[in-house]
Structure 1
Amino acid sequence: MTRKIPLQSFGSLRVATPTCLPGQRIGVMGGTFNPPHDGHRIAAEAALKRLHLDQIWWLITPGNPLKSRDGLTPLDHRMKLVSPFARGPRMKITGFERELGTRYTAGTLAFLKRRYPAVRFVWIMGADNLATFDRWQHWREIAKTMPIAVVDRPGWRHAGLASPAAHALSRYRLPESEAASLADQKPPAWVLLTIRLSGLSSTALRGAAPALPG
């Protein structure tokens, strides 16, 4: 039986998102970005171009429910760190999940679709996320809510494509040559984007960085 996604705070006017217009094509790239790095920038710029998007929203999340919060720097600090990587007027930085009151992607995407029914959203995630997508809360509902662009990451293509979620959604996968039409597709629909890969990772960068002052 499909579980219903809770909607308790979805109409709240206090949840401020970037400005968008009906008919726009907007990619939502969520993550902790702890810290952001050039690989994130490459992924965002490739998605903007290849998916023919009007905007990319860098959605900085309060925390990943599947990961420890140890070493997670404050949300406002991470939003500032993203700024040098989110280049150009079509890149928007937002942390609205804090006001929305959810850390779960299913609730976030349901909120966006409810508030902006005429906007064509695309959820953007890495191939590493696809590898564990079946562990996400309401992952099947996520796939039914928005088209998904899976961005290749070093060492994760095989694991992502061999994952339970990729197998379950295999008949909805578009050829990469049709990536520009993804935002126009009725979900479920997804595509794997091959991009110039960066070996950088947030985990490695945290290990090399000095601790922040308390």
Structure 2
Amino acid sequence: MDPVSLRRPVARIARPAMSPAQPLPRAVPRVGLFGGSFNPAHDGHLHATREALRRLRLDKVVWLVSPQNPLKTRSGMASFADRFASARRVAAADPRIEVSDYEEQKNLRFSVDTITGLARDPSRRHVWIIGADNLIQLPRWKHWLRLFHACPVAVIARAPYLERAGLGLVARRFAGARLDERQAHVLADLCPPAWVLLHHPLHPASSTAIRLRAEAAWQERSK
């Protein structure tokens, strides 16, 4: 399939951005929720976050450092303290990024509990930000349908998953709620389910590659 065709809307959302009876004031902050292991955090996370801030016109993005992803093995996973510290170091480059230990403090292990809980706050407009790889595997997540009904969702490009994400089970299930990416700036104002797939220049940084380089360097020093 021609990748360009994925940029055209599957279906436009034929409903008002907000209910006329309960409009939110313009001063309400627009906040992105970006969860992950950050094992470790790197410039790729920063690049994707800045793209989301720009394209979605968000006021800030919260990095939610996961205590332990249920779908990932503990092998090779740094401690929460180390991963949280790495996220804070990288996020320090942009004051619009907040690093949160919300899941650790609340003893949460599933995104559905985190996102639905935070999205209930009426003083903010929320957007859940995930990578294209996570959109593909989302049907494996606990109560994944509830996630798409909790708040609008922005799916950010991540090679080599982008084309598959636009054609997968979740994309087909919510085809009628998909927003033209040229209208991504209004996503935070929409009632869920609503989502957009964002194309943007990819960053070469990878947590896996960083860990492999660190392990190789450690082995070299140990000789």
The TM-score with structure 1 as length reference comes to 0.84
Who is 2:155 aligned against?
150
Offset of 1:125 from its aligned partner?
0.5
Q: What is the one-letter code of the residue matched to 1:99?
A: Q
Who is 1:14 aligned against?
none
Offset of 1:164 from its aligned partner?
0.9
Who is 1:54 aligned against?
59
Match of residue 186, structure 1, among 191, 195, 203:
191
Who is 2:166 aligned against?
161
Q: Does 1:111 align with 2:117?
A: yes
Offset of 1:31 from its aligned partner?
0.1
State the structure with bigger RCO (CA 8 A, min sep 6), 1 or 2: 2
The CA distance in 2 between the partners of 1:38 and 1:170, in whole Å, is 32
The CA distance in 2 between the partners of 1:99 and 1:85, in whole Å, is 21
1:119-138 alignment, distance < 5 Å: 119-138=124-143
| SS across alignment from 2:89 | coil
| SS across alignment from 2:39 | coil
Q: Does 1:33 align with 2:38?
A: yes
Q: Does 1:97 align with 2:103?
A: yes
| SS across alignment from 1:26 | strand
Q: Which runs of 5+ in 1 are unaligned?
A: 1-21
Offset of 1:93 from its aligned partner?
0.5
Q: When you count helix as a share of all residues, which structure comes out higher?
A: 2
Offset of 1:158 from its aligned partner?
1.4
Residues 58 and 94 of structure 1 are in contact (CA less than 8 Å); yes or no, is this contact kept in structure 2? yes
Q: What is the one-letter code of the residue matched to 1:88?
A: D
Q: Which runs of 5+ in 2 are unaligned?
A: 1-26, 219-223
Who is 2:7 aligned against?
none
Could you report, residue by residue, the CA deviation over 1:94-142 in whole angstroms, capped at 9, with x for unpaired residues?
Answer: 111011111111000121123x223101000000111111111111100
Runs of 4+ in 1 over 6 A off after TM superposition: none
The CA distance in 2 between the partners of 1:113 and 1:130, in whole Å, is 19
Who is 2:94 aligned against?
88
The CA distance in 1 between the partners of 2:76 and 2:134, in whole Å, is 20
| SS across alignment from 1:155 | coil
The CA distance in 2 between the partners of 1:70 and 1:92, in whole Å, is 27
The CA distance in 2 between the partners of 1:184 and 1:191, in whole Å, is 13
The TM-score with structure 2 as length reference comes to 0.81
Match of residue 63, structure 1, among 62, 68, 71:
68
The CA distance in 1 between the partners of 2:82 and 2:103, in whole Å, is 15
Aligned residues: 190
The CA distance in 2 between the partners of 1:112 and 1:28, in whole Å, is 9
